Amino acid sequence: MMANQDNISQTQLQTLFEVSKKINSQLDLDKLLDEIMDLAVGLVQAEKGLILLREAQSENLSVKVARAKDKQATQEVVAMSESTVDKVASSGQSMLIQAVSKDDTKEVPPSFFRHKLVSLVCVPLKIRDQIIGVIYLDTTKSKHFFQDEDLFFLEAFSNLAAIAIENAQNYEELQELNANLENLVEERSQELQKKHGELKKAYQELQEAQVKLVRSEKMASLGMLVAGVAHEINTPLGSIHSNTDVFQRTINKLQHRLAESPDVSSDDFLTEFSKSIELMAKLSDVNKGASERIIQIVKGLRSFARLDEEEINTADIHEGLDDTLDLIRHLQEDKIEIIKDYGDIPELRCKAGQLNQVLMSLLVNACQAISDKGQIHIRSFLDGDCICVQISDSGIGIPPENLEKIFDPGFTTKGVGVGTGLGLSIAYEIIEDHGGTIDVESKMGKGSTFTVKLPCSAFR
């Protein structure tokens, strides 16, 4: 059975965030599997746990790690519901089986009773669409009875674990290639060149995989913009489409009149012809404006995402602000007045895509803080050798007791389903990575002001 995403708590979300940092810092595969197993058993208080991975040659599942609190015999530790493991590994669907009576054994494997289990949970380890293994946990005591929220939590945990395992396997392969390379250096230089080429290719593939991961995460952060951008593009496209239809009908009408009228120099014809030309000229102006709007939207989206830039580059902060405002125009509608007070600031060497992510988070929050009509005031100025960007809104403000928590991972006041509570936390880390600071001032009913301060020499 699948779990409901609403069952995950903010505490569990923050736990996953901490777990992700921990397991992704370990590149030794054996140690990583030990850590994953310990975390999985501990997080849901299981009595026993197994991690099974597919063998590279045979594609069969084999036990890589086994944990049991009380059982010492190897055969007891690795005992499991093999049919459940096979079903999860083949279907890619998680399974949660809870205690049932022996009279009601629908879809319950015989091993469930043979091993005297109270509940078991099994989740797949997936890399994209490929299932590389499973995490299996069970318990024989009712006080450790697995629930739906445990299943969903383990599904989220397994996604993080699978990425960490793939990274460790890639690193292990890279280490093996390095070791082989050192041996081959002593044997013959020709083989060295060949293996060096293989190593270089493997390293490039690893780098490409990491870049793809960063890009996919960056694209995920743009998901909230899709509806707004589609609306912004559809509006001018609708004008162009409608005007094109009028063009065609007008031209057909003129062609028909030319074919029917022997005297094209008559006043009636010239008047009608003049009006048609005037109409088409006006429609052409509308089409031109609509096309320029579409070009501006696409340019802003490409500039904001910076998908072709993974390194540090020189960026115009004002251009980033304008592009971001253009992309969230659907949030502003007619209720929010944007006031720009741009100062004379230099271009900044930075990770432009990440910096745009910060501006997006702050401006979206500012729009969401204004329930009715209001203003967002954007200032930029120099403070010594630092570039400062201030974003102030006239929204509802932040309660004093929350001001110290807003940059904490997982903290949110937006309610379930609105956000993860990681936006400002990630923004804080990005600004910190640039050697800068981000501060907030707020008054209830008056609004909030976020100030980003970036040293001009951060990446010189």
**CATH at residue 160:** 3.30.450.40
> Exposed e or buried b for every residue in 96-121, given b needs 16+ CB within 10 A?
bbbeeeeeeeeebbebbeebebbbbb
Question: Mutual orientation of helices 189-221 and 148-187 as an angle, nearest 10°?
Answer: 160
The token duo for 254 is 């003129």
Number of compact structural domains in the chain = 4
The answer on 133 and 62 residing in a single domain is: yes
What pTM was computed for the model? 0.41
- pLDDT given for residue 326 in this prediction: 81
CATH code at position 378 = 3.30.565.10
Which of 203, 223, 243 represents a domain boundary (last residue)? 223
For 327-363, the three-class secondary structure string (H helix, E strand, C coil) is: HCHHHHCCCEEEEEECCCCCCEEECHHHHHHHHHHHH
- Amino acid 72: pLDDT: 52
Q: At what angle do helices 10-23 and 29-44 cross, to 10 degrees?
A: 160
- Averaged pLDDT, groups of 10, the chain, 460 residues long: 52 76 82 88 86 86 83 60 88 85 60 79 90 91 80 88 88 81 66 76 73 50 56 68 73 70 64 75 73 70 54 86 83 86 93 84 90 93 94 92 79 50 74 91 93 85
Give the pLDDT score at 387.
95
Same domain, 132 and 142: yes
The Cα 174–Cα 183 span in angstroms is: 15
Residues 401 and 376 in one domain: yes
Q: Same domain, yes or no, for 391 and 410?
A: yes
Q: Are residues 343 and 247 in the same domain?
A: no
92 domain-assigned: yes
Q: Which domain covers residue 374, as residue numbers? A: 313-455
Q: Tell which residue, 270, 21, 33, 267, has the closest CA to residue 132.
A: 33
∠ CA(353), CA(429), CA(369), 5° rounding? 80
Are 194 and 214 within one domain? yes
Tokens of 139: 């318990």
Is 339 a member of any domain?
yes
Q: Which two tokens stand for residue 6?
A: 């609403």
Tell whether 460 is covered by a domain.
no
Shared domain for 213 and 234, answered yes or no, is no
Q: Do 24 and 77 belong to one domain?
A: yes
pLDDT at position 347 is 92
Classify residue 12: in a domain, yes or no. yes
Q: Is residue 27 part of a domain?
A: yes
Strands 336-341 and 374-383: parallel
> Collapsing DSSP states into helix, strand and coil, what is residue 237?
helix
Same domain, 236 and 215: no
pLDDT at position 308 is 45
- 214 and 236 housed in the same domain: no
Q: Which pair of tokens denotes residue 460?
A: 């010189």
Cβ–Cβ under 8 Å, residues 367 and 376: yes
Pair (323, 216) in one structural domain: no
Last residue of a domain, one of 289, 305, 321: 305
Instruction: Say if residue 439 is in the same domain as residue 451.
Output: yes
> How far is residue 399's CA from residue 409's CA, in Å, rounded to a whole number?
18
What are the backbone angles phi and psi of residue 2, rounded to the nearest 5°? -95, 150
Choose the final residue of a domain: 259, 277, 305: 305
Of 18, 67, 64, residue with least CA distance to 45: 67
